[in-house]
Amino acid sequence: MQDFYLFLERMGGLHDCQISSLRWDQESCWIELVLDDLYSNFVGLSEYPGREKGSIKLMDVERATFDIETAAGLRIYEICPSKERANTVDLKFSPSGAISVTCKKAVYPECRLTSLQPKKG
């Protein structure tokens, strides 16, 4: 999960990403967020590589708490590691709502922001 947390940090917590779909498969124990533009947080900046759809899939979910009144028009406020619980990701939404997910694995796209890639050395 540490690499996923680094990805989230590089991507600014995916702030402002519009969620086009949120899927939860209880039987298979995964939650997936499908995003309209992974890089919407960087629109107007020189790093912005252009619009790119993508998804984040949280796998082997052990625990999930949902506090969402409506799923229509949700944007990500931030996604970050939980400070209270290991292997847990806290998702906060705008205009309101939150999800907390404890899982063993995250599947996510590669970060294409060249200015934010780790330095080799």
Domain residue ranges in the chain: 2-107
pLDDT digits (tens, 9 = 90+) for 109-120: 999 887 644 444
Q: Given this model, what pLDDT does residue 120 score?
A: 44
pLDDT digits (tens, 9 = 90+) for 25-82: 999 999 999 999 999 999 999 889 999 999 999 999 999 999 988 767 889 999 999 9
SS (H, E, C) the chain: CHHHHHHHHHCHHHCCCEEEEEEEECCCCEEEEEECCCCHHHCCCCCCCCCCCEEEEEECCCEEEEECCCCCCCEEEEEEECCCCCCEEEEEEECCCEEEEECCEEECCCCCCHHHCCCCC
- pLDDT (mean) for 87-104: 94
Q: Of residues 1 and 90, which shows the higher confidence score?
A: 90
pTM above 0.75, yes or no: yes
Instruction: Report the C-alpha gap between 26 and 47 in whole angstroms.
Output: 37
- pLDDT (mean) for 95-116: 89
